[in-house]
Amino acid sequence: MTSSEWDAAIEVLRTATDVTLACHVNPDGDALGSLLGLSRALANRGARTYPTWGTTPLPDVSNFGFLPGLDTLVQPGEVPVTPVFIALDCGAADRLGDIEPLARKAEVLVNIDHHPGNEGFGTINVVHPDASSTAELVMRLLRDAGLEIDQVMATLLYTGIVTDTGRFSYVNTSPNTLRLAADLLETGVSAPDLARELFESAPFGYLKLVGRVLDRAELAADERFVHSWITQQDLKDTDVALAETDRLVDLIRGTAAVDVAALFKEQMDGRWRVSLRSKTRGIADFARARGGGGHELAAGFTARDRDSTVEELKAALRNPSA
Ligand code: 5GP
Ligand code: MN
């Protein structure tokens, strides 16, 4: 990433009149916060914006239902071809899902992201693996573009930062992250109100689901590896949406016995979405080799079989070079 790409992105944010914005499929707090925050900033200065992501139709994001601007989302099938397309928090182009072909049709494709494996699929690439979150990058770009960050945008961007840093606890939390977050709070955002919405508003059935996940957790003590799983039946029984299970992997990694944690989540099609978390050892290569990706200490991929994937993970952890 060169400073000229940063400047080019700023020029686009200042001048574009019709902009499609998309985050990755199965959006998390950073994806949604960056998407809706940047869309609002551009709309406030008079641009027509089409915020979306590549799942047709867009599912409910019930766990983020309080976020301002969800009513501005456009179905991916209803997005026109715009000269400018901005991809947010997408470590690879395929994370755009159904909307990737539309992104390819734009004259200018701005790729704003903080995943280290990002190969620069945009015509303008603002890829900063040092940034805590894509929301942090959006905030810095908006500032440099001279666009106002109002309290609503601050709510959205703070959501991105606080979720991607695990409430300011992961390795991506730097003094600068806290300074930026503090500036967002200066606009009047209430950190405790937002924390309650984000971390204490799950439906009651969530507790029962947590119980199942914890009860099933299996430790491979020698490999310092733990794994557990959630089936479609669990989601039915507890009345919890798959989108609400993002933070469960943090629970199983939370003991001294463990360095690496994997949570397997059964999809509608029977395959498993695997969320990997590590305290020290890089696990992104393992995910990338299976068609996924992510950060060194937080990555994901899709697997056909749970047992064999667990064995492969254990074997990789026994091999010091893996
Ligand atoms: P999660 O476990 O929360 O779904 O994902 C952890 C991290 O890995 C996030 O940064 C997410 O964007 C990334 N990630 C998850 N799944 C994939 C995938 O299939 N491909 C890529 N490139 N990144 C992924
Ligand atoms: Mn992110």
Tens-digit pLDDT profile for residues 117-164? 899 999 999 999 999 999 999 999 999 999 999 999 999 999 999 999
Residue to mutate (ligand 1; options 172, 301, 302, 309; most atoms within 8 A of CB)? 301
> Is 27 a pocket residue for ligand 1 (Cβ < 6 Å)?
no
Amino acid identity of residue 2, one-letter, is T
CA 223 to chain centroid, in Å, comes to 28
Q: Whose CA is nearest to atom 9 of ligand 1?
A: 294
Q: What is the pTM of this model?
A: 0.94
User: ∠253-257-262 over CA atoms, to 5°?
Assistant: 35
Taking the CA of 249 as reference, the closest ligand is: 1
Please indicate whether residue 294, judged by its CB atom, sits closer than 6 Å to ligand 1: yes
Q: Assign 1 a pLDDT band (cuts: 50, 70, 90).
A: low
Tell how far the Cα of 90 is from the centroid of ligand 1, in angstroms: 9
Would you place residue 3 in the very low, low, confident or very high pLDDT band (cuts 50, 70, 90)? confident
Give the separation between CA 164 and CA 40, rounded to whole angstroms: 21
**How many Å apart are CA 62 and CA 43, to the nearest integer?**
24
What is the rounded distance in angstroms from the CA atom of residue 102 to the CA atom of residue 22? Answer: 10
Given a contact cutoff of 8 angstroms between Cβ atoms, the answer to whether 277 and 297 are in contact is: yes
DSSP 223: T
Q: How many CB atoms lie within 10 A of CB 105?
A: 12
The ligand that comes nearest to the alpha carbon of residue 292 is: 1
Where helices occur in 73-174 by DSSP H, the ranges are 100-105, 134-145, 151-164
> For residue range 47-90, what is the model confidence (pLDDT) as tens digits?
999 999 999 999 989 889 999 999 999 999 999 999 999 999 99
Residue 210 one-letter amino acid: V
